[in-house]
Amino acid sequence: MAPIRLRHPKGVATLQLDTETATVQDLLQAIFEASEIPPSSQDLKVGYPPKPLTAVIPELPLSSLGIASGDQLIVTQKPGTAPSPTTSAPRPAPASQPSAASRSKPRDALPFSFGEASTPAPPVKSTGPDQVRTEGGFLVHRVVPDDNSCLFSSVALVFEQDMRKASTIRQVVADAIRKDPETWNEAILGRPREDYIKTILSPNSWGGAIELSILAAHYSTEIASIDVETGRIDHFTPSVGPPPTNRVLLIYSGIHYDAAVIAPTADAPAEWCASIVPVAGNDVEDPTMRALGQLATLLRKKRAYTNTATFDLKCEICAKGLKGEKEARAHAEETGHTKFGEY
C-alpha cells in the first residue's frame, strides 16, 4: 500500500492504493469517495509545484501515471460539469486543532460560486489594476510578483501591508507545523515533517490549502480565496473560538495568487486601501464578496487564468506533440506509451 496525499476543495485526504495492482480507475474512484467529484469531472494535478495530470486512462495500471509513494495530488472540478452531490464535508484542521482526525468546518457549508451568470458591476475605466465598484469604494486587484512565493506575498500584503515579508509568512507556517506534530503529521503533509518544513521555508516552494488554514488560525481571520476560472470561493477559517468577524481576500488564477483590497477612490494610493474587511453575511449577502465575484468575472473575461486542461502535451517516450486528453488517450492506445508531460 502506498499513501497518496490528495488535496481537494473540501480539505486533505490520504489515499491508500497498491501501486502494483491498482488501476487508474481505482484511483479516480478513491478520489471520488474523498472529494465527491465524479471521475468525469476531475481535473487533476500532481507534484510540487503542481503539474497537470492529463492522460488519465481508467483501464491502464496506476503505475502508468508515474505517481510515487508520498506524491501529492490536487483535484478540482472541471468548469461546466455538474456540481458535486454535497459540499458539507469538513476542511483540514488548522494548527490549533488537537488532533489530525479533527477537521474544521467551513462557515458556509455550501460555498457560493460566481459564474458567468453573475451580473458584474460596470468595470472602472482605468489604466491601473482591475477594479469594480462596491459599497464604500472599489474592490481592487493587487498583483504580486509572479514567482513561487505569490501565496505568501499576497498574505503578507493583506495582513502585514508589505508583500516583501513573504519570508516572514513562510516562517509562521513552518513554526506552526513544528509546534503541532499531532495535527501536522507525515500522513497529512504527505512527506516527512522536517522535509516539509525545510521545503516551505524555501523561496522556490509553493503554498496551498495547508498554508492558508494555518495562516487563518494564526491571524484569527478568515481567508477567502476565489478561483478566477470557476468562480468558486474557498473559505479558510480558524476552527476554535467564535466565527471570525473579519476576512481577507485572495484571487487564484490556477497557478498564481494575488490579493484584493478596498480602495476609497478609484485612484487611491495603496496606503489608503483596506485589506481586512468585515464579514457581512454569506457570500450572496455580503457586498464585498459579491464584488469579489464580479472582479473574478472581469478577470475571467480577460482570460486572466490558466486552464491546465487545455495544455499542449508531449509524449515523453517518443516526443510526439499532442493536445488534450483525447489525443493522449488515442496515442496511448495506439503505441502503449503512457507518460506525458507539458509541451
> What is the pLDDT at residue 341?
61
pLDDT bucket at 215, cuts 50 / 70 / 90: very high
The answer to whether residue 235 is catalytic is: no
Annotated catalytic residue, options 8, 141, 218, 256: 256
Annotated catalytic residue, options 26, 108, 175, 337: 337
Task: Report which residue type is found at 235.
Answer: H
pTM: 0.58
- The grid coordinates listed for 52 are 497537470
Which residue reads 457581512 in cell numbers? Answer: 280
The answer to whether residue 108 is catalytic is: no
Average pLDDT (210-236) is 95
Residues 172-194 pLDDT 10s: 999 999 999 999 999 889 889 99
Pairing of strands 222-227, 246-252: parallel
Average pLDDT (293-298) is 95
> What is the pLDDT at residue 307?
57
Share of residues in the chain with pLDDT > 70 (%): 76
| Host H or E run for residue 218 | helix 209-219
pLDDT bucket at 106, cuts 50 / 70 / 90: very low
Length of the chain: 343
| Host H or E run for residue 193 | helix 193-200
Residues 235-287 pLDDT 10s: 999 988 889 999 999 999 887 899 999 999 888 888 899 999 999 988 999 99
Which residue reads 457586498 in cell numbers? Answer: 287
What's the angle, vertex CA 85, arms to CA 82 and CA 88, rounded to 5?
130
> What is the pLDDT at residue 291?
96
Q: How many CA atoms lie within 13 A of 216 on its CB side?
A: 34
Query: Which residues does residue 250 pair with via DSSP β-bridges, in sequence order?
Result: 225, 259
Annotated catalytic residue, options 71, 130, 141, 150: 150
Average pLDDT (280-303) is 92
Residues 198-212 pLDDT 10s: 999 999 888 899 999
> What is the pLDDT at residue 248?
97
pLDDT bucket at 312, cuts 50 / 70 / 90: low
Share of residues in the chain with pLDDT > 90 (%): 37
Tell me the backbone φ, ψ of residue 230, rounded to 5 degrees.
-100, -20
- Within 10 Å of residue 230's Cβ, how many Cβ atoms? 23
Residues 22-76 pLDDT 10s: 888 888 888 888 888 887 778 888 875 677 776 567 767 887 787 766 677 888 8
Residues 79-97 pLDDT 10s: 765 554 433 333 333 333 3
> What is the pLDDT at residue 333?
67
Is pLDDT of 126 > 50? no
> What is the pLDDT at residue 292?
96
**92 neighbors 27 (Cβ within 8 angstroms):** no
Q: Give the span between the Cα atoms of 164 and 158, in whole angstroms.
A: 12
pLDDT bucket at 108, cuts 50 / 70 / 90: very low
The answer to whether residue 218 is catalytic is: no
Q: Give the span between the Cα atoms of 48 and 37, in whole angstroms.
A: 22
> What is the pLDDT at residue 177?
96
Annotated catalytic residue, options 146, 147, 195, 312: 147
Is pLDDT of 147 > 70? yes
> What is the pLDDT at residue 339?
63
The answer to whether residue 256 is catalytic is: yes
> What is the pLDDT at residue 224?
97
Query: Which residues does residue 17 pair with via DSSP β-bridges, in sequence order?
Result: 2
